[in-house]
Every structure is written in structure tokens, then in C-alpha cells.
Amino acid sequence: MRLFYELDYDELSQWLAAQGQPGYRADQVFEWVYQHRVGSFAELTNIPASLREVLGAEFDLNSPQIVEVVAGGEAIKYLLGYGDGAQIECVNIPMGAYHTFCLSSQVGCGIGCVFCASALGGLQRNLTAGEIIAQALAVARHTGRPRNLVFMGIGEPLLNLDNVAAAIRRFTDSRAVDLSPQRVTISTAGVVPGIHRLADLHLGVELAVSLNASTDQQRAELMPGVARWSLRELTEACQYFTRVSRGQPVTFTYVLMKGINDFFADADRLVGLLRPLRHHLNIIPFNPVEHAEISAPGPSRTAAFVRRLREKGLNVSVRHSKGSNVKAACGQLRQHRNS
């Protein structure tokens, strides 16, 4: 059975036309699936029962299944299972009356960052556009409509850009989820060709780059999957993104690790890398990961590092990741049961 979310509006319209249905049926189906977030075609009471039966026989509206929900106050983590046995984790971060969904783009990850649990087990496969959309809607049915979507879960979005871009077009389609593109952020470990492609797609989304190192050698040790591209090539790609996006700044994240990348020399090199760019830098103290013999620097060390950056002109803040108590913070997502 086909996953319904693989169909965009035009494809649904063509399928409905082949069933002899009038053109407005596509609007009706999209509204109830994406805005009312129904979990069954039987709930589409605005269309004939005969069409509901045909839709139900043809398309799957209930994949993925929620396998486990772990709530930790600041975040709610979901383990989701797809029909082929693949599993991913994603996170809802409540923000008052609003929700930010942290989505995964792949099953596993092949970048191999030494400070990230998502790298354990390597890359299994890409998620399709429909599977990415279904992931968000599964969480939305459980918790409410998102205000923001961030591709900061499991996987490297720019190594699955065709599917991620197709999903984003649905998320920002006024007939579907109807989010502003500025409410969507793609985070990359630094896939340089992907940054160029993303810029050329003109999706209007925000770009975040996981930096974590101030030299090419250091970056190769920490993030081997992106070592083929130098920091110079990365910053040039970010300049291209900003130029094509008409001045849109890039957000850089820097996971601060004690005795590894928290020296003033690192801070000074960061200044040299980022000051020429339109940027915002988020410093993220390392979140514990079970396989990594790494720790976060203490508060005073972190404060001194940040102060050094600010004194030299960087636009910087400290971001304390939410959900660490349920292993839902930055770098902690995997694909396994927690109970």
C-alpha cells in the first residue's frame, strides 16, 4: 500500500481525476489530511463514502507508528517505526502555546561525528519525502500543530536533499501544513555541494551549520564524514548561500568540548572564520553521549570562551539544549527503545 504523503497536490489531483472525481476534491482531501490531521480516511466526512473507501484501499495514512513516547518536561521524544522495520527518533519542544519539531532526515547517519549518538550503527537509508512528512504529522496528531520545524534530528539533510526539499515544499504549501519557510531550518554538518544546491533551490528556509572545529585537522578528527571539504570551502559556501538568499545570515553551532575545542586559540580562529560572514554563533556545551569519552567544560570556562568571542566581535550566544534528561538534546538522538 502506498504512503499517502508521497503524493503532492498535483499528483493527488491527477489520481482523483483518474477516479472521475471533480477538481475540488484535492483541496478537500488536503485540508483534512494536513490541517485537521486525520488518522483515517473514514474521518473525511466532507467527501463521499465511496471515495473514502477507495482512498483507504489505495493509500496508507498511518505510517509511521509511534513506538514509544518519552516526556522530559522541556522536550517530548518520539520513537517512530516504519513499515520496513526502520526506526527513527524525533523531538517536540513545547514553547508555551507553540511547538518546535526536531525532525530526522535519514535512518542512521554516516557523518560519524565522535560526539553524536546518531552516528552509532552508521547510515541505513534515506527517508522519503512522504516519510519525513508523515513523521511530522504523527507527532502533530499527538501534540498539536508545529510552529517551527528544524531538521536537526538523525541524519544529514543535505545528503538527502531531494526528499527533504520535497517535504519542505509540502510543509510550506498553503493547501497543506502552511508554514512560513522562515519557520523551517535545515542543519548540516557542512556538506558544501549541498549548501550550494540548497541556495539554488530558493526554498526560503534558514540554514544552520554544525561547525565544532576551528582547523581542518580538528574537524577531520571530530567529523570525519565532512573532512573532504575544508573550512575555507565551507565558509565560501555559506557566503554563497547568504548572497543568493539576499543577505540571510547563517547560524553556526559549536559543540564545546572540554580540552578539545575550548581553548582561546580556538576562539580566535573562530573569529577569523566567522567575522567576515553574516552569522550567528550558538555555543552548545557538550551533552553526554554514552559511547564518547568527552565532557563539557565548566560554566566558568564556557563563559570565558564566549566572552573572548564577543570581545572580538562575534554575534554569539550559549544554547543549553532541552531534553537532555530523556536523551533528546543535541547529539543524543538514536533509534532505540529507552524503556
CA angle 70, 73, 77 (to 5 degrees): 30
Annotated catalytic residue within 89, 131, 156, 206: 89
Count of positions (residues) in the chain: 339
E strand intervals along 127-233: 148-151, 184-188, 206-210
Contacts of 123 (CB under 8 A, 6+ apart): 106, 107, 108, 109, 110, 155
In three-state secondary structure terms, 70 is strand
Annotated catalytic residue within 90, 116, 238, 330: 330
Inter-CA distances, 45 with 17, 30, 52, Å: 20, 13, 8
Based on the residue annotation, tell me whether 330 is a catalytic residue of this protein. Answer: yes
Rounded Cα distance, 287 and 17, in Å: 52
**What separation, in Å, do the N-terminal and C-terminal C-alpha atoms of the chain show?**
31
Tell me how far the alpha carbon of residue 51 is from its chain's centroid.
35
Helix (H) or strand (E) holding 125: strand 123-126
The residues that are catalytic are 89, 330
